[in-house]
Chain A
Amino acid sequence: MSYEKFTILKSSAVPLPIENVDTDQIIPARFLKATERKGFGANLFRDWRYESDNTPKKDFVLNNEKFSGEILVGGKNFGSGSSREHAAWAIYDYGFRCVVSSFFADIFRNNCLNIGVLPVQVSPDFLKKIFFEIEKNPKIEFTIDLKEQKIIISDNNFSTEFFEINNYKKQNMINGFDDIDYLINIKPDIKKFANKMPL
């Protein structure tokens, strides 16, 4: 299904300076029992966010009113582990439109792109700077400009970094198209191709 278009996002960010955040943490397996894509945000980072009796854990960043925004900033190797797209759904459903890290796991990155969450990969130094600036001023604004492929911190010098994204995926995000639309359009070619492929 097509999704919301993404061009420019201006927002403060939520910092999670932990490495190797795996998708089991983002959404634990016991919350994967739904048959519809609904309500996953409530269980985002469930076991880091809540005690077993459902009281919020004070020291977890999502429970800290100081931090808010549509950007989640994570440590290196974000989204490793299970292929569950539910992780990306939970991030989206909670209200994030963009995840920033210095390194993403492959499947997680694809899953994000497929549902309209923009993964922005920055250098380790820039990531450090982001965490540093948020710590100094939790409300500091970031600009994610997809057209220009830039992430800008509203610090004194407007520190900026360019990020990579595959051009096809970029156009999809900007226009809110998805891959299935594309594939359905070339179905006749696929059929011809399939005839040559033994079962």
Chain B
Amino acid sequence: MNKTLFDKVWDKHVVHSIKNGPEVLFIDRHMVHEVTSPVAFLGLKKRDIKVMYPERTFATADHNTPTINQHLPVKDPLSANQLRALEENSKTYNISYWGLGHKKNGIVHVIGPEYGITLPGATIVCGDSHTSTHGAFGAIAFGIGTSEVEMVLSTQCIMQQKPKSMRINIDGSLSKGVTPKDVALYIISMLSTSGATGFFVEYSGDVFNQMSMEGRMTVCNLSIEMGARGGMIAPDHKTFKYIKGREFAPKGLKWNEAMKYWKTLFSDKGVKFDKEYHFHGKDIEPMITYGTNPGMGTSILKGIPKSNNIDGGGQTYKKSLEYMSFNEGDKMIGKKIDFVFLGSCTNGRIEDFRSFAAIVKGRKKAKNVTAWLVPGSHMVEKAIKDEGLLDVLKEAGFELREPGCSACLAMNEDKIPPGKYAVSTSNRNFEGRQGPGSRTLLASPLVAAAAAITGEVTDPRSFF
């Protein structure tokens, strides 16, 4: 029978099927962080059970960590307490823990691929919705809640209803200045934030074939923002090359065996998806959001759509523009901004810093802009230094912070103040996401860099 890429990986991991119910899915790798795990560990304690496969479990601290002076004790007592809890739990249950200060520390979805924890054909979960990032390698990866974290810790399984299948095809190629982030924001603006709810998405077509692994991670990362459980891309020579030699990747004979399986991971010709979309690369331009969900995005050259063009949600739409203090029909270009945030599991990898640096090179940061440049991990931080990007950034008036989630969810001190506008490369522009009252414009690292130089929303192509 013809199968989709998703079917192939899913079917291989089904331990049990319950009649008229969910399936018991085996989880190959489980990533854990400090915020969504403590209550799950408490559950284990109450039941007096162990972590079933500590060797399949990887813990890091990222959501709640400071991005300056990481060598000092964490000031916020609640954050410190949560970090301590994860460290203790990791010790008690024999889980590898890459905490603050550890050289492998970083955002969970950045370090997974970096250390070869993320592999094609694997099932990967984490108590964080952007776990979908790992789908870039042809893995089934999705975010789970804390009860489910407890399930995976205690039994390495989760109970899930099989989602429906969707394929998004984008043919052709991207124009200069258009990045994977723009591709994702474009798709979400077309489908809306609930357009893929109930589905698992496969991305295919030339645009994704040509895309780098890091670009694919950015796209898969944002799958959740259109409601999808996750997104995935069939592995190819780029994927295998990326993985080879990484610390937790299979080696020697095991590598050959793995490759045999990985090469079967594609959707069979003629297989039917429950839903399919077709777009064209040339239609995509640099994007920016103007509202309070990631579906409220537009080409940077266009204006804010009129509410009478918005299907059903007139009232919600108006509330959103009110929060942003924008008007229907406003142009986005030229809007004044106060902050720029480069980072997060969406755009905190080395290619993102290269793009940013390419724009700011030889220019100066606008005086009225505060810029937070936060690498996704120590490995990214090191590459920024080794490649000489740090000098470029410094010369342009920027500083580099230490790795972590930072202003992506503003759980630490990196909060955008009330009423201020931030062009952010992260993934969510919800009300208050980057700090109470903050206003977020989601965009690519190129758009963020251009805004950091001019102090307003600017088409980065004017810098080429």
A17, A22, A35, A199: the one within 8 Å of B430 (CB): A22
Interface pair B145/A111, CB less than 8 Å apart: yes
Interface pair B15/A52, CB less than 8 Å apart: no
Chain B residues with Cβ below 8 Å from A83 are 36, 127-129, 143-145
Residues of B177-193 whose CB lies within 8 A of A: 193
Interface pair A110/B411, CB less than 8 Å apart: no
Interface pair A36/B147, CB less than 8 Å apart: no
C-alpha gap A85/B147 in the complex (Å): 8
Q: Which residue of B lies closest to A115 (CB)?
A: B147
Chain B residues with Cβ below 8 Å from A76 are 194, 312-313
A178 within 8 A of B: yes
**B380 → chain A, closest Cβ, in Å?**
23
B133 within 8 A of A: no
Check A80/B81 contact, CB under 8 A, given A25-B431, A184-B155.
no
B343 within 8 A of A: no
Interface pair B82/A33, CB less than 8 Å apart: yes
A20, A86, A183: the one within 8 Å of B154 (CB): A183
Interface pair B436/A110, CB less than 8 Å apart: no
Check A75/B129 contact, CB under 8 A, given A1-B43, A36-B42, A52-B436.
no
A37 within 8 A of B: yes
Interface pair B21/A25, CB less than 8 Å apart: no
Residues of A18-32 whose CB lies within 8 A of B: 18-20, 22, 24-25, 28-30, 32
C-alpha gap A105/B249 in the complex (Å): 34
Check A33/B64 contact, CB under 8 A, given A84-B36, A166-B21.
yes
Residues of B106-157 whose CB lies within 8 A of A: 127-129, 143-148, 150-151, 154-157
Chain B residues with Cβ below 8 Å from A148 are none
Query: A-B contact count, CB below 8 Å?
Result: 197
B394 within 8 A of A: no
Q: Which residue of A lies closest to B15 (CB)?
A: A193
C-alpha gap A176/B49 in the complex (Å): 21
C-alpha gap A30/B155 in the complex (Å): 31
Chain B residues with Cβ below 8 Å from A114 are 145, 147-148
**B371 → chain A, closest Cβ, in Å?**
22
A19, A29, A168: the one within 8 Å of B22 (CB): A168
Chain B residues with Cβ below 8 Å from A82 are 128-129, 409, 428
Chain A residues with Cβ below 8 Å from B353 are none
Residues of A46-86 whose CB lies within 8 A of B: 47, 52, 75-77, 80-86
Interface pair A19/B316, CB less than 8 Å apart: yes
Interface pair B428/A24, CB less than 8 Å apart: yes
Residues of B78-99 whose CB lies within 8 A of A: 78-79, 81-82, 85
Interface pair B194/A190, CB less than 8 Å apart: no
Chain B residues with Cβ below 8 Å from A19 are 312-313, 316
Interface pair A34/B22, CB less than 8 Å apart: no
Interface pair A111/B147, CB less than 8 Å apart: yes
B43, B198, B410, B432: the one within 8 Å of A180 (CB): B43
Chain B interface (Cβ within 8 Å of chain A)?
A: 13, 15-16, 18, 20-22, 24, 26, 28, 35-36, 38-39, 42-43, 46-47, 49, 52-53, 55-56, 63-64, 76, 78-79, 81-82, 85, 127-129, 143-148, 150-151, 154-159, 161, 163, 193-194, 197-198, 227, 229, 250, 254, 257-258, 293, 312-313, 315-316, 319, 409-411, 418, 428, 430-433, 436-437
Shortest 7 CB-CB contacts between residues of A and residues of B: A168-B21, A85-B145, A114-B147, A33-B78, A111-B145, A35-B38, A83-B143
Chain A interface (Cβ within 8 Å of chain B)?
A: 1, 17-20, 22, 24-25, 28-30, 32-37, 47, 52, 75-77, 80-86, 88, 103-107, 110-111, 114-115, 166-169, 178-180, 182-184, 186-187, 189-190, 193-194, 197-199
Contacts A75-B316, A105-B197, A166-B22 given; 5 further ones with Cβ under 8 A? A19-B316, A33-B76, A85-B39, A169-B22, A190-B24
